[in-house]
Amino acid sequence: MKQEARRLGFAAAGACPAVAPEGIDRFRRWLQAGYAGQMRWLPERAAAYDHPRHVLDGARSLLMLALNYRSTEPRPASTGQGRVSRYAWGPADYHDVIHERLRSLRQFHLALRPQAQVRGVVDTAPLLEREFARQSGLGWIGKNTLLLGKESGSWFFLAALLTDSELAYDEPFQADHCGTCRACLDACPTSAFPRPYVLDATRCISYLTIELREQVPRELRHGLGDWLFGCDVCQDVCPWNRHAPVTDDAAFQPLPASDPVDLGKLFELDDESFRARFRATPLWRARRRGLLRSAALILGNQGCASALPALARGLDDPEPLVRGACAWALGQLPVEAAAAAGRLLRERLERESDPEVRRELQAALQSSSDCPS
């Protein structure tokens, strides 16, 4: 099974018994602390995480799998551009890529055991993948809560093949090689780690740009910097990623338009053109309104007068979420654009009916009036 997994492109494979995960109590405490935010499927399915049998009835074993996605180093983002997390640079959604390979691995398993019950999953089933990956010997869970390997770093996806067959199990990974290092904790732009090994997702840039369906809290907007979709900061600074392997997998090679992304062009996309460009990629998860919201916040953070036309267009967008973010961004523009931004904000306020957008417009007008002349 491991040999076939590597033939299919998985970088590592390890097996463990299907038992209650060691970290289940930590997971429950994490939910109780409210760190899941709007990811309601986590508390709603909390009981299902207790045991892999809730993913596959009769499960006896898990084959945990890692697939590398590090390709090239990111190109720097200039004014008017936004950064995308490495895993989302390519032309395909990693779920589709991995599920195709899991189907092939499942067929291989069934050729060996025709009567077996087998299921492959990729981060959508109620399974604590990192706990089982550690149990399978693939690495340790680092202070940034990601699985780390001494040779592999953390630039990889995790997947699992569950079976009611008994496999030859690997030894759990016992060591923690983070030591006294605090690089990931100290580098986080939004202070999303209340303490080592704990992530407050509600402050994480990946959550804010992908999972959050509302406006980004005002106190966290500047922390987004130029991140449009996801964030790699805690991985970029991790010493174990300095020599992480590079993949030549075509599915994860960056599209020129995704590394980085031209923000102004996003405001020209209607629903149909947005679907055509992003439907098969991970960026689809943020939906058009979420991506344009983040694009507006980045333009506000960059504070460049050249963003005025794009933000003016977004201020008339059908989506209140986009209009509100553009209002905030217009209030952040420099003094040379303040007069034009103020005019746009006042004109929009006269015809705006959404109460949340009205509040953003009023706050932006105040910010604009506070700019030194």
**What's the CATH number where 372 sits?**
1.25.10.10
Residue 330 and residue 188 share a domain:
no
Residue 173 pLDDT > 80: yes
Res. 227: pLDDT tops 70: yes
Answer yes or no: do 113 and 147 share one domain: yes
Choice between 200 and 371, residue whose per-residue pLDDT is larger: 200
Q: What is the dihedral sign for C-alpha 188, 191, 196, 200? A: negative
Sign of CA dihedral 284, 287, 288, 290: negative
Domain assignment of residue 256, given as a range:
2-266
pLDDT reading at 280 higher than 60: yes
> What gap in Å lies between CA 103 and CA 105, rounded to an integer?
5
Q: What is the mean pLDDT of the chain?
A: 96
Clarify whether residues 364 and 278 are in a common domain: yes
Is the per-residue pLDDT at 373 higher than 50?
no
Q: Are residues 91 and 141 in the same domain?
A: yes
Whether residue 253 sits in one domain with residue 119: yes
Q: Do 252 and 367 lie in a common domain?
A: no
Taking residues 283-290, report their average pLDDT: 97
End residue of a domain, out of 266, 284, 306:
266
Same domain, 286 and 190: no
The catalytic site residues sit at: 123
Average pLDDT over residues 146-166: 97
> Torsion angle, CA of 234/74/69/140, rounded to 10 degrees?
-20
Q: Is the confidence at residue 369, as pLDDT, over 80? A: no
> Alpha carbon of 324 to those of 221, 319, 321, 363, 369: distances in Å?
13, 9, 5, 10, 18
Global pTM value: 0.95
The verdict on 74 and 199 lying in the same domain is: yes
Tokens of 191: 């202070």
Residues 222 and 371 in one domain: no
Q: pLDDT at position 177, please? A: 98
Please check whether residues 223 and 284 belong to one and the same domain. no
Q: How confident is the model at residue 367 (pLDDT cuts 50, 70, 90)?
A: confident
For the chain, what is the domain count?
Answer: 2
* Final residue before a domain boundary, out of 266, 298, 329: 266
pLDDT at 370: 58
| pLDDT of 372 higher than 60 | no
The reported pLDDT for the residue numbered 368 is: 72
Which of 236, 266, 296 finishes a domain?
A: 266
